[in-house]
Structure 1
Amino acid sequence: MCVEVKQGGGTCMLELDGRTLTFEKFRECCLEPNVPAVIRCAVPECETGSKEGFVSCLERMTSRLAPMSLIDAYGEGHHVPTVEFMTGTTSDSDQFECMECRMRPLGEVMECWRRKDGVLYLKDWHMQLECESQGRATERTSVEKKAVIDGYHCIVHGDGLYQVPEYLGHDWMDDFCRCLGGGDANYCHFGDTESDYRFAYIGPPSSWTPLHFDVFGTYSWSLNVCGEKLWFFPSPEGNQRLLETSLYGLMLPVDIRTTTGAELCAVLQRPGDLVFVPSGYLHQVHNVSGPRFLLPPKNILRPDDLANPKKAKVLDNDDTGSVSLVISINHNWCNEWCVERMVKAFCRDANRLQRLLTEEDRVLLFGEDCTAWHKHVENLLIGGTNWNFACIRSFLKHRLACLSIQNDGKGAEVGLRRLLKKCLAEVDAVELRITHTCGS
């Protein structure tokens, strides 16, 4: 089933049924045209024994990501990324909301939720990677090893937490990151830290994510484990207009609802629903409602309590010992249908940097030392945009290497190889113009 979600007389996004969805249908409806969608019933509530879709269920995922389970698994001193929403007042009595991003211990996060003196959002947490690292450290890797041996599509994420449904297709980003995680020194990862683009989001109602588009021109998907989210998308025409008028993200409004004349589509995401966000597509997400979870007892997070979370639950069972939460997991991912958009996004970042650099800067800083100038440009790019020429070239060459290993002479792979080489040529041309013009 494929239903068009219409708002304001036009089609804003698609509604698909995860119980019957195939990769061919998803590719035709979403990947190739770059159209957003909500996939209903992407995950069953309870175990079904079926090998289709997510090899998991909402019940098990909710249990693993509940506050008591997180404290049990990681301890109260484990640091996680958070955003705190704070409301202030200007001199003319207008209210405003600001956001503070910082790492906090899990125990502090739980205490903030208990006190309810602000809105604290645990977001952009590389939970899956940390689960897998913890599993390897304790030799609990049988699920992951079997999955990798059985084939790429069977990778199980988060130390047995879930498997991505096959109808979403290949994930070149995760494949590349796993290669880097294996210690391959021939490639440069994205960003300046560990390369991973899988996340967990855990926050109370009223926490939200401002208007943005995803990193590197990738796709993203977001699965609601529990609770409800409200998503806002502009129309396709409005999306392009907002990107252009904001200089592709430099001057985006925080809240799309304040944008004059914006055509919006609002979609409610329920537990088990998966939202697909296309490459370069703006979106804004609000946590609306969620079930209540018990919090660890106040000031009683002793080691013996952590070893027995059921015992800890009964120590503090009133309303101050629980919190309403919305929990979701998210992947940024890419494949052959968005790789050209990724390269275009990178070239736009590189060209923007070029406009800020002058020949006088180069001569003053480095004279005729082209190598030092090239390194300087690469450092500026990675520091400002989280990727540079070495990153994007590594990503494209890694994919070409994968094709060489899988080479079976099929026409589709020949065309894909041609596409990747074209992308590499575009990157090379921009790099030559920006960094290799010393003395010209």
Structure 2
Amino acid sequence: MGLNIIGSVEKVNGSEISYSDFATKYLSKNEPVVITGLMADWKATRDWVHDDGIPNLQFISSNFGKSKVQVADCGSREFTDQKRFEMSVAEFIDHWLNVSSVEHGNLYLKDWHFVKEYPEYTAYTTPLFFCDDWLNLYLDNYQMHEDHDTYQKRDNISCSDYRFVYMGAKGTWTPFHADVFRSYSWSANVCGKKKWYFLSPEQCHLVFDRNMKNSVYDIFEEVDDTIFPNFKKTTWLECTQDQNEIIFVPSGWYHQVHNLEDTISINHNWFNAYNLSWVWDLMLRDYKEAREYIEDIKDICDDFEGLCQRNLAANTGMNFYDLFNFIVRFSFANIVQLCYLAKSSVSAKWCASPITQNLIFNLESAKDIAEKMKFRCVSENYNISLDIRSVLEEHAFLELCFQLERTYAFIHDKHEPIGDKKTFLIDDLLDMGLCKLLSTVVCNPDDLVNLIDDTLQNLVILPHKV
């Protein structure tokens, strides 16, 4: 039985839509879209592709061939994914060029952390619509796992960001899945063509077994009705993504992807205020599963909650403590930006500016997750103690703040910088009468909720210059 395809993914010209329109129509509504017209000036589209559209594999091998990468064997399943192993980029390309697909099993290079390995080679510029990327901005400055009992460092690249390059010959493919953290993702075809099949979040329960533990691996295999009794009820969107097109994959949309031609793509996973709730919902679900799995040792375990959190980090990529640290620092960074806007504004209209509204929306989203964490987390002490005065002295935090500043200046077409990281720090907050803010210490979700409430209230009533 074939898939019940009921429609295709919308396609828009990226030069004809504003960020505000994109956020309203696709980010907030969590709808997929294909975007054209945004890749013409990318270095990758010149260096990595021959004039006839064929991948320039010799260039990539010559310049980046020593990199060690993960390669998937598309003909071999291992648990819920394809079997993976490590090889160099040069070895992968040699296989691609010299060995038939039958012999090498359709090898597909995945999850190459190209940007981290080659920061001086600017292969592309992240499109405007995807710049509000909290995940990668944070990981550029901090490790996700700060608890050394939880964080087991593998190397400087593997856990450092979620910016990837994929390379695969015609016929390679990615099994049915939803993205890590239930993040958004975008995927740009530098060359080649892909076929996408999408299932909306409202129907994802239909592709799981009766126990809601395992999902279908390949939607084109014969799906056993006794194991997946509801699969035949699914309805799908399909999409053919051509060279120089970018597809936006929203949170929670399960998808399967096939390379119709030899293809190279650039992919990012990210989240921000629009889909932070999806990240929390997945983490809460995975936490409950991790807890149930070891419930029988609860009475004999000295630190049962700690074990649950370590298992959650291993299974999901982060745990409650990691997410809370993340949200606290992002809240601090947004508060710093708001304070500067309040201080530098010449009228009360500053509150209505697009950047201000964006920052307020961010803080309200962070507050919403903190509220949920209050009522769901077992442990009251989140093993952190962060105060704004100390955090403002962290070099990593200053970099996070001003990457965030540049991001919103770019998104909202404000060419002048919002602030100067060398001058707008503790003294400026003291000048604004925000001594209480500087003395605040955040140790748990209640503290963060109170901090955000107090900050928004204080900034609204601050006197403005006239």
TM-score w.r.t. the length of structure 1 is 0.70
Partner Cα separation in structure 2 for residue 106 and residue 56 of structure 1: 19
Deviation per residue, 1:257-314 (Å, 9 max, x gap)? 344343122211101111110001101110011xxxxxxxxxxxxxxxxxxxxxxxxx
SS of 2:16's equivalent? coil
Partner Cα separation in structure 1 for residue 247 and residue 71 of structure 2: 22
Deviation per residue, 1:57-83 (Å, 9 max, x gap)? 6224537x832223222345x321101
> Which letter does structure 1 place at the counterpart of 2:74?
F
Give the stretch that moved more between structures: 220-229 or 340-349.
340-349
1:285 aligns with: 257
From the superposition, tell whether residues 335 and 61 of structure 1 become closer, same or farther in structure 2 (CA, over 3 Å): farther
Deviation per residue, 1:138-158 (Å, 9 max, x gap)? xxxxxxxxxxxxxxxxxxxxx
Match of 1:199 among 131, 154, 164: 164
Partner Cα separation in structure 2 for residue 277 and residue 32 of structure 1: 13
2:69 aligns with: 80
2:142 aligns with: 180
Query: Is 2:191 the partner of 1:226?
Result: yes
Query: Is 2:214 the partner of 1:251?
Result: yes
Partner Cα separation in structure 2 for residue 243 and residue 266 of structure 1: 20
Which has the larger strand fraction? 1
SS of 1:81's equivalent? strand
Match of 1:16 among 12, 18, 26: 12
Would you say the 8 A contact 1:213–1:283 is kept in 2? yes
Deviation per residue, 1:305-332 (Å, 9 max, x gap)? xxxxxxxxxxxxxxxxxxxx31000000
Structure 1's unaligned 5+ residue stretches are: 1-6, 48-54, 89-96, 136-158, 290-324, 367-371
C-alpha deviation, 1:192, in angstroms: 5.5
C-alpha deviation, 1:18, in angstroms: 1.8
Q: 1:157-172 alignment to 2 at 5 Å? A: 159-172=121-134
Partner Cα separation in structure 1 for residue 376 and residue 265 of structure 2: 38
> Which letter does structure 1 place at the counterpart of 2:56?
A
From the superposition, tell whether residues 418 and 428 of structure 1 become closer, same or farther in structure 2 (CA, over 3 Å): same
From the superposition, tell whether residues 353 and 241 of structure 1 become closer, same or farther in structure 2 (CA, over 3 Å): same
Match of 1:386 among 294, 307, 317: 317
What CA RMSD, in Å, does the superposition of the two structures yield over aligned residues?
3.3
Q: 1:34-433 alignment to 2 at 5 Å? A: 34-44=30-40, 47=41, 56=43, 58-62=45-49, 66-76=56-66, 78-86=67-75, 99-113=82-96, 114-116=98-100, 117-118=103-104, 119-132=106-119, 135=120, 159-180=121-142, 193=154, 194-235=159-200, 237-239=202-204, 241-242=206-207, 247=212, 250-258=213-221, 259-289=231-261, 325-358=262-295, 360-366=296-302, 372-407=303-338, 408-409=341-342, 410=351, 412=357, 413-432=359-378
SS of 2:35's equivalent? strand
Would you say the 8 A contact 1:207–1:286 is kept in 2? yes
From the superposition, tell whether residues 265 and 104 of structure 1 become closer, same or farther in structure 2 (CA, over 3 Å): same
TM-score w.r.t. the length of structure 2 is 0.66
Percent identity between the aligned chains? Answer: 24
Task: Give the length in aligned residue pairs.
Answer: 343
From the superposition, tell whether residues 266 and 384 of structure 1 become closer, same or farther in structure 2 (CA, over 3 Å): same
C-alpha deviation, 1:196, in angstroms: 0.6
From the superposition, tell whether residues 25 and 282 of structure 1 become closer, same or farther in structure 2 (CA, over 3 Å): same
C-alpha deviation, 1:191, in angstroms: 8.5
Would you say the 8 A contact 2:200–2:252 is kept in 1? no
Structure 2's unaligned 5+ residue stretches are: 222-230, 343-350, 383-466
